[in-house]
Amino acid sequence: MGEIENLPYKEKRYPYHNAYLDYWKKSISNIEEFWDLKARDLVWYKTWDNVLDSSNPPFYRWFVGAQTNINLNTLDRWQNTLIFNKVAYYWEGEDGVSRVITYRDLFKEVNKFSKALIDLGVKENDTVTIYLPMIPELPISMLSVTRIGAIHSVVFSGFSAEALSTRIVDAKSKVLITADSYPRNGKPIELKKNVESAIKLAKDQGVEVEKVIVVKRSGLPIPFIEGRDYWYHELVNKYSDSIYVKPVARKSDDVLFILYTSGTTGKPKGIMHSVGGYMTYVYHAFKWNWDIRPEDVHWTFADVGWITGHTYIVYGPLMHGATEVMYEGAPVYPAPDRAWSIVEKYKVTILYTSPTTLRLLRQYGDEFVNKHDLSTLRILGTVGEPINPDVWEWYFNVVGKGKCPIVDTWWMTETSASMIAPSPHLGLVPLKPGSATYPLPGIEPDVLDDNGNQTPPGVKGYLVIKKPWPGMPLGIWGDPERFVKTYFGKYQGIFYAGDYAVKDEEGYFWLLGRADEVLKVAGHRIGTIEMEDALIKHPSVAEAAVIGMPDPVKGEVPIAAVVLKSGVNPSNELKKELIEVVRNTIGPIATPQAIIFVRKLPKTRSGKIMRRVLKAILTNGIVGDTSTLEDPTSVDELKRAWDEFKLSMK
Ligand code: WT7
């Protein structure tokens, strides 16, 4: 299929357009047959009796009766092959240090650490929380935990102590893997200090962390508690390089990992992914997205703390024996061309990042891109938010020099890997800037209106997935009802994604952002209710409402309207305190852009805050019908407060 590379990617007729459509149609006509074949690309201890068990919807179970371990497919599979000597990770620290890790190195290290975990008493199905920065010990920890049949819960290292404690408590984790501190924009982030506060908070809620494994990243002094804390290097150095731990045979429908994501209540959801289903879907999607080849150097510029990193930095590339770049630091540190220097240094062929990162990099001007030789690039990917057509054009023309297709991938934490995206694998369909194009084979999305009817072409509706797929979640950890309600409550038996979407005449999908009370700040999902819950913890706050404001770089930023308790005077100090409360409860990613004080919030007669009205006022939109408001004067009040705020910023 070499000839497709020489075609302009935006040309109207594309030779494989119809081939794709036929293949997709066939794939969804019998999904069991389709996934049965796909799963055979992987290594299993025992194959399945049943491809799909649909006896208890929406708790679908994939490859029932099968046994495997994801380590078989990421590491053990490459022993005695040429891939064993290949680079698995080029790791680059923010401070310029680097490490080259082959598949052989990774295999040795994972076996040693697996043995250490067993010796520390970690058992099958135990939950292990991992709170690590972007260092090689993060994938090593994930692989070791899954190798011994335990379940990891990775918590993004940018989350606060309190956010960490909530996740430790919910997962009932007794073992925690962390690091001393790490550099971010040149300054140390003291992870271990956060860990100490989180452990105290968790203990107050009845969960005691018994063992803490600490990776030495920076070497700065940290609190270290003998008997509870263990240095990672001391643990692994006890074992010889030839130590081998057999990957535990896991049932296909066992839990592989939990990953928390924000929803429409104050409590994050522990999304559970399955061993066999996740493995199969991720393998298939990774291949579809990148047409991965032996000589590729793949760089997912994201954090392993999010699903993008789980799938596209750890499990996806390793299952394909691919070489992955892992960069620890901030995008423009110490200079605006850091990202481009990494592409040049490691001869990256596939770059995958978010529109937010692209908008940030673009701000500094094209000369920073053009300073570097980016000629090795062959595919450019994007994920996390809708990509603005002008950013798409910039990525295509300035970064890719008009030669690399843009693979816009729509998906979410719940789906395991991309669901709607063009593929260079079967031959690309013509690209349209801003559209993720078509579904992956085996995936059947649609756009429905409130009554469950398909919307006509060009009409906005809600994105759904009509048939089960192997990468679907097993459920929400400890909360099966919430799983049913959140994803299968709006439409009976159909997965509701929570996104607005529209399909055009040619069947292309255009994703239009969240339809629920969840924001996408710099590509990260943050629940407005989570932020409101944080604000009302402050003794001066009576009520709070958070909405997302469009932002030229981050896509959206949170703004909070706050009603103070009677007798409390608004002040700038109080604003600062409230911002701190949110940062301490969730993390710096949730920092409100502005806090405005009002006397009342727009509410319905039944007392529900009308975020729609609030958002309309704050974004200068049209407020629309206010007849359902309990007190329409709240609108004028808000307008006044917002105008005053804007004046104060001038
Ligand atoms: C939400 C899921 C998928 C990994 C990173 C985010 C939005 C994701 C796209 C895209 C438009 C997108 C959706 C989705 N989203 N990719 N290509 N175009 N929107 O995972 O944190 O679970 O967020 O991200 O709104 O629902 P997540």
> pLDDT for 474-503, tens place per residue?
999 999 999 999 999 999 989 999 999 999
Q: How far is the CA of 409 from the centre of ligand 1 (A)?
A: 8
576 vs 538: CA distance, rounded Å:
12
pLDDT tens sequence across 419-430: 999 988 777 888
Q: How far is the CA of 85 from the centre of ligand 1 (A)?
A: 35
Give yes or no for residue 262 CB within 6 A of ligand 1: no
- Positive or negative, the CA dihedral 355, 360, 365, 367 is negative
Beta bridge partners of 331: none
pLDDT tens sequence across 603-635: 888 888 888 888 888 887 677 777 778 888 888
Strand residues in 45-170 grouped as ranges (E) = 50-53, 61-64, 67-68, 87-92, 98-102, 127-131, 151-154
Candidate from 156, 259, 463, 520 with most ligand 1 atoms within 8 A of CB, to mutate: 520
CB within 8 Å of 236: residues ≥ 6 apart: 109, 112, 113, 116
Q: Which of 611, 528, 596, 590 is nearest to 564 (CA)?
A: 596
Tokens 């891939």 sit on residue:
83
Residue 17: what pLDDT?
A: 86
CB within 8 Å of 261: residues ≥ 6 apart: 268, 269, 271, 307, 412, 413, 414, 525
Q: With a cut of 50, which residues of the chain have pLDDT below it?
A: 1-6
378 vs 435: CA distance, rounded Å:
20
CB within 8 Å of 6: residues ≥ 6 apart: none
644 vs 650: CA distance, rounded Å:
10
How far is C-alpha 571 from the geometric centre of its chain's CA atoms?
37
Residue 639: what pLDDT?
A: 86
pLDDT tens sequence across 267-325: 999 999 999 999 999 999 999 999 999 999 999 999 999 999 999 999 999 999 999 99
* CATH classification (class only), 1-443: alpha beta
CATH of 536-648, one of 3.30.300.30, 3.40.30.10, 2.60.40.1180, 3.30.559.10: 3.30.300.30
Q: Which of 183, 177, 173, 195 is nearest to 139 (CA)?
A: 177
Q: How far is the CA of 308 from the centre of ligand 1 (A)?
A: 10
Q: β-pairing, 379-383 with 350-353?
A: parallel
Q: 287 phi and psi, to 5 degrees?
A: -65, -45
Residue 11: what pLDDT?
A: 61
Give yes or no for residue 168 CB within 6 A of ligand 1: no
Domain boundaries, the chain: 1-443, 536-648
| Nearest Cα residue to atom 11 of ligand 1 | 386
Q: β-pairing, 524-527 with 518-521?
A: antiparallel
Q: How far is the CA of 6 from the centre of ligand 1 (A)?
A: 30
pTM: 0.95
101 vs 89: CA distance, rounded Å:
5
Give yes or no for residue 44 CB within 6 A of ligand 1: no
CB within 8 Å of 591: residues ≥ 6 apart: 558, 579, 582, 583
Structure tokens at 608: 């529900």
Angle at alpha carbon of residue 267, lines to 264 and 270, rounded to 5°: 100
Give yes or no for residue 312 CB within 6 A of ligand 1: no
